[in-house]
Amino acid sequence: MTKSSVKSPRPFQHLESDGPLCCGQVSLESLARRHGTPLYVYSADQIMERLGLFQKALTGRDHLVCYAVKANSALAILKLLADRGAGFDIVSGGELERVLAAAPEAAGRVVYSGVGKTPPEIDLALSAGILAFNVESEAELELLAARARKLKTTARFALRVNPDVFAETHPYISTGLREHKFGIDIRKALAIYKEVARNRWLAAYGISFHIGSQIRSAEPFGAAMERVKKLLRQLAREGIALQAVDAGGGLGIDYHSGKFDAAAKVREYAAALEKALDGFEGRLLIEPGRFLVAQAGALVARVLQVKRSGNKTFVITDAAMNDLIRPALYQAHHEIVPVRPRAGKARIVDVVGPVCETGDFFARDRKLAPLEPGDLIALLDAGAYGMAQSSNYNTRLRPAEVLIEGSKAWLIRRRETMADLLAPETF
């Protein structure tokens, strides 16, 4: 773990100019030989470093960094983060089960978001003693009270308000406007807090918001927090003193190869929140997902064929959209680098997978160094919403996952087998 202010290198780099691409000290060639491809490789060092950036930027205040489990729910990553004091933001009972499996001691550091919590999921979370429910509607608050009553316990909650700020990002991952399905209209929140103030099954813990994902500027977070601060003041005047505010996740990264100063980004983000929170002495929760894990991960694939068709060249890899759907789903860009670059002129190519969909591509009209069948490539910045959104479409076995710390490599999930896939079925 990097303690000094010296910027650590990107986790994926060539240690020698004529050597293979490495993660930490570990060659991706050796990992591919050992575990096969497609293969997800994650740098534990970078994940820990990123967590440390948030923790350091918030040292002046009581805070909790609740990692958004949905970004990458590998048990080994949850454990890594829990051991360093992180809490978790979950959006399903399944994600809670993962946290409980990897780090049961972190149950009290879990916040539970999501617009459609079921009674069994709520019961599980109440029994586990999670920190708070981020409640997204009045109906859900009623349901939460009813379940708490049934279990004879008190549910700590935060209303997830919709601050109605626009954040520039892809429309599928923008969530902070009134027209979105998320949260409670901020103008209605005060009345709801007042209404349940004397409900013995509910304890108002905080206010939360989450305005979207892959937001590159700190400004919308500050703007949202300003609105929430106003509400905190109104609540205080009514005698409702909340302990915490939860600013959600959503801080974006750079998916292009440019210079990216993660530490500066985090400082800017924390400063925007702090500025808006001035005067509030309570606790600040944040729920970063992508920022912690995206750039720590790469998907390593092998080139199966290079096919010319008309005036196009297709590089066909053994990874496909079922392994990493972001390009197909969000038109997302991932840098692609040869693990062992060949000399020669770069070519304009499409990089595609073998799945029977035209949407099965990783890059279109991308200028890449020459690639031959058998070569390995790495799709960078694939640590978030990669494996987590993978599927078995086309009856493809999902990749194995490896976690790297320095010169050590752990297989944290073995490759699926056909037996795994067929097990739940009968005929």
Ligand X SMILES: *Cc1c(COP(=O)(O)O)cnc(C)c1O
- Binding stretches for ligand X (CB under 6 A): 68, 70-71, 89, 91, 113, 210, 213-214, 248-251, 287-291, 384
Shortest Å, Cβ 126 to ligand X: 19
Is 70 or 398 the residue whose CB approaches ligand X more closely?
A: 70
Is 158 or 231 the residue whose CB approaches ligand X more closely?
A: 158
Shortest Å, Cβ 156 to ligand X: 17
Annotated catalytic residue, options 22, 23, 66, 356: 356
**H or E element at residue 297:** strand 297-309
Place of tokens 């912690």: 292
- Measure CA of the first residue to CA of the last residue in the chain; give whole Å: 51
Quick one: how far is CA 366 from the chain centroid?
A: 26
Whole-number Å distance between alpha carbons of 320 and 362: 8
Write the DSSP string, 3-43.
-SSSPPPPSEEESSTTS-EEETTEEHHHHHHHH-SSEEEEE
Shortest Å, Cβ 294 to ligand X: 8
Q: Which DSSP category does 4 fall into?
A: S
Is 103 or 251 the residue whose CB approaches ligand X more closely?
A: 251
List Cβ neighbours of 187 (8 Å cut-off, separation of 6 or more): none
CB atoms within 10 A of CB 311: 6
Shortest Å, Cβ 353 to ligand X: 24
Whole-number Å distance between alpha carbons of 269 and 14: 31
Of the candidates 112, 114, 117, the residue with the CA atom closest to the CA atom of residue 99: 112
Is 31 or 253 the residue whose CB approaches ligand X more closely?
A: 253
Whole-number Å distance between alpha carbons of 134 and 157: 6
Shortest Å, Cβ 8 to ligand X: 21
Is 52 or 288 the residue whose CB approaches ligand X more closely?
A: 288
356 belongs to the catalytic site = yes
**Cis bond before residue 327 (omega within 30° of 0):** no
Q: Which residues are catalytic?
A: 356
